[in-house]
Amino acid sequence: MSHASHIPTGRSRNLRTIYREDRTVKLIDQTRLPGEIVLVDCQAPDVLCEAIRTMRIRGAPALGVAAAYAMALGAETGPTDPAALQAYLGDIAGQVRATRPTAVNLFWGVDQALDALRDTESEVDAMREALWACADRLADDDVRRNQRMGEVGAELIPDGARVLTHCNTGSLATVDWGTALGVIRAAHRSGKQISVLVDETRPFLQGSRLTAWECAQEGIPYTVITDNMAGHFMARGEVDLCIVGADRIAASGDVANKIGTYSVAVLANAHGLPFYVAAPASTVDLALETGAEIPIEERNPTEVLEFGGVRVAPEGATARHPAFDVTPSRLVTAIITEVGILRAPYELALDRAVKLAVIGVS
C-alpha cells in the first residue's frame, strides 16, 4: 500500500530523494514538481516498481537505490518460509528489472541486494535485515560518491563559465547532491561565478521542471531554453562547456543518456566545446562493448502527442518516444567519476575506474 503527503517547500533542501522510515520507503514524487512537494510512502515492492515505471522516481543512481529498497520491501511482504522467500525475491528481482531497461544502476541495485542475501543464513529475519542494510548502505554510499564526483569535476568548470546541461542530474536524480548538476553545484559552492543554460528536455521536461527548480534552490543563476535552441547559443558564443549525466556507459565509452543528449554532443563538437559526462562507476557496464548494445527504452508515445496532459497533435497522429539516445565516445571530452576524470582511450580508463570504485570512497 502507499499514500502521499505534502510537505512545506522550505524543507525540500533537507530531504533525500528516497529514504526510509522503519519499514516504509519514502520518495519525492517528481511528477508533482515544481508545483508542490509530495512524498509517496511505499510499503510493498509493486508500489515502488510502479513509482519507477511512472517516473515518480527517476535518475540512474536513484533507481539503483530504489531497486535495492524494492527488494527489501519484498522481503517484508513475502513468505515466512526461507526457501519460499528466496523464490519470491527472485520474482521480485525480475519485476524490478522489467520496470525500465536502459539504466544499468537499476540492475546493479538488484544484484547488490541478491549478493547481500547470499551472505546471510537461510533465516527470514536475517534475510530481511540484510536487505534493509544493503539498501541503506547503497543510499549513504551514493551521497558520498556524488559529493566526491562534484569535487573531482568542479576543476573542469572555470570561473565565469556558462554551462549547458540536459535533463536533470541533481539531487532528484540521485539520493542526494547529484552527478552533472552535482559538479555544477560544487563549482558554485567553491565561489565560482557560473551560470547554467537548462535544456527543457522534451517531452518529459526534466530540465525546465526539475533542474531549474534545483538551481533556484541552490541559488545558481540559470536560464531555461528549449532543446532546439542549444545550437543557436553555441554559435553566438554563449556556451563555454556542456555537462550531462548518464544512464549506462559501455566499455568503449559510448554513453546512453536522456534523449537529446546526442544532439547536444554533436553541436558541442561542431563548435569546439568540451562535452563532459558525469556518472558514478556503477553506471559503467563493461559487459557491453559498445553503445549499440545498450537497450533503449521506448515510452508511451502519448507523452509526445500531449503537452502538460493536453493533446497538441491531431487525432490519429502517431509518435515515437525513445527515452534515451547514445553518444559515441569520440564526442565525449572526458568522463567524470568518483575515482577521477577519465579520458580516452576509455576502454582502459573505465576498466580501471570500476576496479577502483569497488574499494570505496571514504
Q: What is the pLDDT of residue 120?
A: 82
Q: Does residue 81 share a domain with residue 163?
A: no
CATH number at residue 341: 3.40.50.10470
CATH number at residue 98: 1.20.120.420
Q: Does residue 181 share a domain with residue 117?
A: no
Q: Round to whole Å and give the CA distance between 75 and 73.
A: 5
Q: What is the pLDDT of residue 3?
A: 60
Provide mean pLDDT across the span 136-160: 97
In 3D, which of 162, 137, 295 has the Cα closest to residue 222? 162
Provide mean pLDDT across the span 162-181: 98
CA 143 to chain centre: 13
Give the model's confidence band at 12: pLDDT under 50 very low, under 70 low, under 90 confident, else very high. Answer: low
Q: Does residue 177 share a domain with residue 140?
A: no
pLDDT over 80 (residue 148)? yes
Q: Does residue 162 share a domain with residue 127?
A: no
Q: Round to whole Å and give the CA distance between 250 and 243.
A: 18
Cα-based angle 109, 73, 178 (whole degrees, multiple of 5)? 40
In 3D, which of 246, 248, 243, 253 has the Cα closest to residue 352? 253
CA 47 to chain centre: 19
The mean pLDDT value of the chain amounts to: 95
From 145, 175, 207, give the residue that closes a domain: 145
Q: Round to whole Å and give the CA distance between 194 and 360.
A: 31
Q: What is the pLDDT of residue 6?
A: 60
Q: What is the pLDDT of residue 7?
A: 58
Instruction: Write out the residue range of the structural domain in which residue 141 sits.
Output: 2-145
pLDDT over 60 (residue 294)? yes
Please give the grid coordinates belonging to residue 277. 559526462
pLDDT per residue as tens digits for the range 86-126: 999 999 999 999 999 999 999 999 999 999 998 787 799 99
Q: Does residue 180 share a domain with residue 125?
A: no
- Which residue is listed with cell 576524470? 341
Q: Does residue 37 share a domain with residue 56?
A: yes
8-state DSSP, 122: S
Cα radius of gyration rounded to whole Å, the chain = 20
Provide mean pLDDT across the span 8-35: 85
Q: Does residue 345 share a domain with residue 229?
A: yes
- Listed in sequence order, the residues at least 6 apart from 102 whose beta carbon sits closer than 8 Å to its beta carbon are 247, 248, 256, 294, 295, 296, 297, 323, 324
Q: What is the pLDDT of residue 11?
A: 42
pLDDT over 60 (residue 362)? no
pLDDT per residue as tens digits for the range 52-92: 999 999 999 999 999 999 999 999 999 999 999 999 999 99
Q: Does residue 219 share a domain with residue 128?
A: no
Residue with the larger pLDDT of the pair 249 and 9: 249
In 3D, which of 74, 324, 359, 83 has the Cα closest to residue 66? 74
Q: Round to whole Å and give the CA distance between 157 and 240.
A: 9
Q: Does residue 329 share a domain with residue 269?
A: yes
The active-site residue, picked from 142, 199, 247, 325, is 247
pLDDT over 50 (residue 283)? yes
pLDDT per residue as tens digits for the range 191-234: 999 999 999 999 999 999 999 999 999 999 999 999 999 999 99
Q: Does residue 118 share a domain with residue 231?
A: no
From 145, 165, 188, give the residue that closes a domain: 145
Give the model's confidence band at 309: pLDDT under 50 very low, under 70 low, under 90 confident, else very high. Answer: confident
Note the pTM of the prediction, 2 decimals. Answer: 0.95
The total domain count for the chain is 2
pLDDT over 70 (residue 13)? no
Window from 97-101, 116-120, 248-252, 316-320 with minimum mean pLDDT: 116-120
> Is 227 labeled as catalytic in the residue annotation?
no
Q: Does residue 216 share a domain with residue 102?
A: no
Q: What is the pLDDT of residue 1?
A: 45
From 145, 178, 207, give the residue that closes a domain: 145
Provide mean pLDDT across the span 234-261: 98
Q: Does residue 200 share a domain with residue 226?
A: yes
